[in-house]
Structure 1
Amino acid sequence: MEYAVVDVETTGLDPTRDRVIDIGILLVDSTGLVQGDWSSLVNPQRPVDATFIHGLTDEDVESAPAFSLLLPRVVELLRGRAVVAHNASFDIGFLNAEFARARYPVMIPRAAGVCTMDQSRIYLPPGRHNLAACLERAGITLPVKHRSIADAQCSAALLAHYLETELSGVRYADTAQDRHGNLVLPREWERAAEAARSIQWLDIADLGPATLNS
């Protein structure tokens, strides 16, 4: 299975009302090797608001394309791949919300995602689970910049570390609980691969021009 490591920066925390303003996707092979990357600023068609987190302003994104115009490229990159992110529920939730606004009738199930935050409870020593803390415990010296492509690179590095750690037979726990009390199991990428294969991605050209309305 191959992976699409995703990071989105947003106007806030609620995908029902907030919007993506920066998206980065790294293509990663089954061993954790990065094959390519793509990123874009996104015009959220509303005020940015969360500048204090990512540093982006209304002026930075006013000439960027709307998410609906980026949809064909996003679908092309995600098709057939498990989605990897640090806090995968957040990124997948925003992707699905943007798909719905663009009238693209596909949803990514959370089961098709690999959460590098949750898997840190299995493959890293005990400690905090934010991106910077996980990188430090994994011995990875990439900076967390709260920009999409940079943080996707951090998540990809964690995935590669987990793959290598599992291959070497090292785990710090056999099971764990996430911050919501849900069970975390090792090798989430295997289950995500199976779920990703079940997604029926649709070609944008087959859906008609109404799809690209946001």
Structure 2
Amino acid sequence: MRQIFFDTETTGLYAEGGDRLVEIGCVEMVNRQLTGNNLHIYINPERSSHEEALKVHGLTDEFLSTKPKFAEIADQFIEYVSGAELVIHNAPFDLGFVNAEMKRLGRPPIHDVVAGVRDTLLMARDLYPGKANSLDALCRRLEVDNSNRTFHGALLDAELLAQVYINMTRGQDSLVIDESSASGGGGHAAGETQLESVDFSRFALPVLVASEAELQAHEKVLAELDKASGGKRIWQAH
């Protein structure tokens, strides 16, 4: 299963109001392994960012003026995400901007290009109801280091989202993760995590025998507990 962790930065909050994309970040994962085959593009939005948006991403008009317009990178972007599952935190926001750009070019919506969309915000709300589920909050909860996140950047946020997703779905090396359900297979709704039934009798578990010194230390602790309790150690009662 090929998954693309996807994030954008924009000139503002409202695609329908004319705000545009300024940055796209994509991180590829195949069969729960990050490949390093990522895509990162700055985009000339042909308009200025709102002041509040600029405070978030820090991408100035001067910097973006030399970058390609979306029309110039559309084919590259579409080819990259084609056939993959997009994994996005708060998917309607990012997809709204992408589809607005596609519509300007007379292209079909991105849903017609990708295999599906998974919204990690919905996943997090199911897993942690009533708690803060922003990307920053999930990084703290799931012990993902986001200390380098001074500004919001599409590629950095996509990389953080990939680590958050791996931790939310029980880690890359889990014995019990069901890979197909983690990627949305098997007919389960987006955001659900299904666990594979595992026969633990398959695993040969080592038996560690206590050494003589460890047994003596154990007996010493029990004797001290017996003394402290006035000889009332009920676990040795016959």
| TM-score normalised to structure 2 length | 0.67
| Structure 2 residue 165 is the aligned partner of structure 1 residue 159 | yes
Q: 1:23 to 1:114 in 2, by over 3 A?
A: same
Gaps of 5+ in 1: 171-186, 196-214
In 2, the alpha carbon distance for the partners of 1:168 and 1:51 equals 44
Shift of 1:169: 6.2
1:147 equivalent among 153, 161, 171: 153
- Tell me if structure 1 keeps the 8 A contact 2:85–2:115: no
Structure 2 counterpart of 1:46: 47
Aligned residues: 179
What percent identity do the matched residue pairs reach? Answer: 28
In 2, the alpha carbon distance for the partners of 1:137 and 1:73 equals 35
In 2, the alpha carbon distance for the partners of 1:80 and 1:193 equals 18
Q: 1:194 to 1:102 in 2, by over 3 A?
A: farther
| TM-score normalised to structure 1 length | 0.73
Q: CA offsets per residue over residues 136-164 of structure 1, 9 Å max, x none?
A: 10111134431110001011111211232
Structure 1 counterpart of 2:22: 21
In 2, the alpha carbon distance for the partners of 1:193 and 1:57 equals 44
In 1, the alpha carbon distance for the partners of 2:130 and 2:6 equals 25
Deviates more, 1:126-135 or 1:160-169: 160-169
Structure 2 counterpart of 1:37: 38
In 1, the alpha carbon distance for the partners of 2:176 and 2:140 equals 21
Higher relative contact order (CA 8 A, sep 6+): 1
In 1, the alpha carbon distance for the partners of 2:47 and 2:15 equals 13
Choose 1 or 2 for highest CA Rg. 2
CA RMSD across the alignment: 2.9
- Tell me if structure 2 keeps the 8 A contact 1:9–1:21: yes
